[in-house]
Amino acid sequence: MTATTARLDLRLDARDKSRIARAAALRGMAVSAFVRDAVLREVDSAIAAESVVTLSADESRRFLAALDEPFHPNDRLKKAMQGAARMPRS
């Protein structure tokens, strides 16, 4: 299996680059590998933060109560369901 690679260029001031190089050396890693790993950790964190919804105790109770209520489709949904029922099936 072959992997496609892409390049990412980044501009840093000399002080930041030096700090990154020092941190990579402390970890025994190449700068590019160190930066890639750090960025991917941050990516995972950002995506996870957007994928999780946290509710307060009150919000949780209201949400669960809403789930326990019987479902009543509104007029727009009823119309869409009727239209879908008339569509030919393949």
**Residues for the chain: how many in total?**
90
Question: How far is the first Cα of the chain from the last one, in angstroms, to the nearest whole number?
Answer: 37
Task: Report whether 20 contacts 35 (CB < 8 A).
Answer: yes
Amino acid in the structure at residue 17: K
Question: What gap in Å lies between CA 22 and CA 26, rounded to an integer?
Answer: 6
pLDDT at position 2 is: 64
Domain locations along the chain: 14-86
Structure tokens at 35: 């930066």
5/36: higher pLDDT: 36
pLDDT digit string, tens, across residues 35-46: 999 999 999 999
Place of tokens 């970890």: 27
| pTM of the shown model | 0.57
> Which residue type occupies 89?
R
